[in-house]
Chain A
């Protein structure tokens, strides 16, 4: 096995930032939710890589928890999006901006 941990770390870092970028530039709230999932997943990659490097299972178990939390967030988020679509007819995040000032 010759892949340095750094490579995984770098990949996960890039994926994390791409996820952040998705939240910053997309207006479709479903895609924003997906981007947040991508952020969580990049963290998972880092966890697994470190777990492998430390030869400890801890990191793998943590991923398990992160996936569970991700699922919970998706459930809440999607039902919120459905309810917003019902009342407004679209899910454009920029149109949800009545509260300001």
Chain B
């Protein structure tokens, strides 16, 4: 271990160590001043972003290839740290309202973010596995955070935990098989063995499929998605917000790196079935969302469908000419999705009442009259999630579809376009209810929440009109040793 190793791991180390320290500090913070813990958590993530920014475009291996640093990981780490900060801001007022204030909330959130940050850098299957657990275990606990007052939260936690552990069983077994086939767990080394032709293709393929199942569960693609609506529904909304963005981004970080840097040849063999999974996810997620009355469940299906859009990049990376574009499209979309989705969750949090009510779509009636600003923001987020120009979501989708077309997957592109047309149906229902029905929604207005909403709304709008800088950033993020 050298200083260089530590430097590469610095973002993870800062977040994890900060979480450990915060765990102790929190004991001395009185129960009515837990806002301080929240602030400290934000500060921790702020510090962690400094080394990322300082070494944004460097490429390094560290800890014997356990972790790698490249543009890809830096981009995702920045995104994930931002997501963490926003999740804290969203949670602060919500926890007080639901009377579940505990300092451990922020600590666990930090631990989860540390897992995500580590996942972005994972260069070895064992790190993929451990980071996945590190990001999931706190989320299991956080899902059950409202369990004392709300049996649904308890149910969500149990479902998430059991199915999550089940899925990680698949991942472990998959890693074992990949190890058996290649004799190594380091992602780049796997690829070297694979191209030198000494590997056992059958074992490797089965192992890859098992890992795909486990990670597919995390990012919620059909048919591994069934937990999503129930867990998103039952978990405290502030946790769901983090889950829908952070866990997904972490899962995709591993999927993309693994299939591009580890075994692209296997991905090529699996391409038809990857296309099938993407198409099925798009169709199922977008159609099932239509029947939902509860906005949290609707957003759950929406998140499934967005996983489908990003998943389209997986069969596309097979072609090495397209791979750089596919990676940057996926990164850009993840960013855009994170901004719009967190914003939408912010609005949901603002409308959720202390007793857990206010989550039906009908509860949004009259929002346009009562609180035009909030309604406008929500409308913007919905339009962006549909992909209506000139919002950020449109650029993201456009970029994704372009890659799909470049990869000659016309059928998949068609499915994508048609399903995003269908998605307009349920997203706009929210807009219609807000503006075209009268009602009396109770809206919570709080400093941090409002700031978050302003920020995300502005981001959604500006990224639609000036996507240039972010697109540039996303397109300069090569993978270590592969894409310049």
Please list the residues of chain A having a beta carbon within 8 angstroms of any beta carbon in chain B: 5, 9, 12, 16, 19-20, 23, 29, 32-33, 36, 39-40, 42-44, 46-47, 49-50, 53-54, 56, 58-59, 62, 65-66, 69, 72-73, 76-77, 80-81, 83-84, 87-88, 93, 96-101
B231 to chain A, nearest CB (A): 8
CB of B162 within 8 A of CB of A93, answer: yes
Q: Is B405 on the interface with A (CB-CB < 8 A)? A: no
User: Among the listed B130, B140, B169, B183, which residue makes an inter-chain contact with A40, where contact means beta carbons less than 8 Å apart?
Assistant: B169
User: Among the listed B141, B165, B176, which residue makes an inter-chain contact with A47, where contact means beta carbons less than 8 Å apart?
Assistant: B176
CB neighbours of B277 from chain A (8 A): none
Please list the residues of chain B having a beta carbon within 8 angstroms of any beta carbon in chain A: 126, 129-130, 133, 137, 140-141, 144, 147, 151-152, 154-159, 161-162, 165-166, 168-170, 172-173, 175-177, 179-180, 183-185, 229-230, 233-234, 292, 297
Q: Give me 10 A-to-B residue pairs in the complex whose CB atoms sit less than 8 angstroms apart, sorted by A's number.
A: A12-B176, A32-B162, A39-B166, A40-B169, A65-B130, A73-B168, A76-B140, A77-B161, A77-B165, A87-B151
CA distance A95 to B200 in the complex (A): 44
CB of A76 within 8 A of CB of B147, answer: no
CB of B230 within 8 A of CB of A100, answer: yes
Say whether, besides A50-B180, A99-B230, A84 and B126 are in contact (CB < 8 Å): no
User: Among the listed B154, B165, B229, which residue makes an inter-chain contact with A73, where contact means beta carbons less than 8 Å apart?
Assistant: B165
CB neighbours of A23 from chain B (8 A): 162, 166
Say whether, besides A96-B158, A99-B155, A99-B233, A36 and B165 are in contact (CB < 8 Å): yes
CB neighbours of A65 from chain B (8 A): 126, 129-130
Say whether, besides A50-B180, A73-B165, A40 and B158 are in contact (CB < 8 Å): no
Say whether, besides A65-B129, A69-B133, A99 and B234 are in contact (CB < 8 Å): yes
The DSSP consensus for interface residues of chain B is helix
CB neighbours of B180 from chain A (8 A): 5, 9, 46, 49-50, 53
CA distance A101 to B297 in the complex (A): 9
CA distance A53 to B130 in the complex (A): 25
B176, B184, B185, B297, most chain A CB atoms within 10 A: B176
Say whether, besides A19-B169, A43-B172, A101-B297, A80 and B158 are in contact (CB < 8 Å): yes
CB neighbours of A5 from chain B (8 A): 180
CB of B169 within 8 A of CB of A54, answer: no
Say whether, besides A96-B159, A99-B152, A99-B230, A83 and B144 are in contact (CB < 8 Å): yes
A96 to chain B, nearest CB (A): 5
CB of A83 within 8 A of CB of B165, answer: no
CB of B173 within 8 A of CB of A39, answer: yes
B235 to chain A, nearest CB (A): 10
CB of B172 within 8 A of CB of A80, answer: no
CA distance A32 to B159 in the complex (A): 12
CB of A80 within 8 A of CB of B161, answer: yes
CB of A87 within 8 A of CB of B155, answer: no
Smallest CB-CB separation from A8: which chain B residue? Answer: B180
CB neighbours of B154 from chain A (8 A): 80, 83-84, 87
CB of B183 within 8 A of CB of A56, answer: yes
Smallest CB-CB separation from B140: which chain A residue? Answer: A76
CA distance A97 to B151 in the complex (A): 11
CB neighbours of A96 from chain B (8 A): 155, 158-159
CB neighbours of A32 from chain B (8 A): 162
CB of A80 within 8 A of CB of B144, answer: yes
A41 to chain B, nearest CB (A): 10
User: Among the listed B126, B133, B176, B292, which residue makes an inter-chain contact with A50, where contact means beta carbons less than 8 Å apart?
Assistant: B176
A16 to chain B, nearest CB (A): 6
CB of A29 within 8 A of CB of B158, answer: yes
CB neighbours of A40 from chain B (8 A): 169, 172
Say whether, besides A47-B179, A58-B179, A58-B184, A69 and B162 are in contact (CB < 8 Å): no
A62 to chain B, nearest CB (A): 6
CA distance A62 to B130 in the complex (A): 11
CB neighbours of B140 from chain A (8 A): 76, 80
Smallest CB-CB separation from B173: which chain A residue? Answer: A43
Smallest CB-CB separation from B147: which chain A residue? Answer: A83
Smallest CB-CB separation from A39: which chain B residue? Answer: B169
Known: A23-B166, A99-B230. 14 other contacts (CB 8 A): A5-B180, A29-B158, A36-B166, A36-B169, A43-B169, A43-B175, A46-B173, A49-B180, A50-B180, A69-B168, A80-B144, A81-B158, A87-B147, A99-B156
CA distance A23 to B169 in the complex (A): 11
CB neighbours of B297 from chain A (8 A): 101
CB of A59 within 8 A of CB of B169, answer: no
B121 to chain A, nearest CB (A): 17
CB of B184 within 8 A of CB of A66, answer: no
CB neighbours of A80 from chain B (8 A): 140, 144, 154, 157-158, 161
CB neighbours of A33 from chain B (8 A): 162, 165
CB neighbours of A69 from chain B (8 A): 129-130, 133, 168, 172
CB of B133 within 8 A of CB of A46, answer: no
CB of A16 within 8 A of CB of B173, answer: yes
CA distance A87 to B150 in the complex (A): 10
CB neighbours of A97 from chain B (8 A): 155
CA distance A92 to B176 in the complex (A): 32
CA distance A47 to B207 in the complex (A): 13
CB neighbours of A16 from chain B (8 A): 169, 173
CB neighbours of A53 from chain B (8 A): 180
Smallest CB-CB separation from A74: which chain B residue? Answer: B165
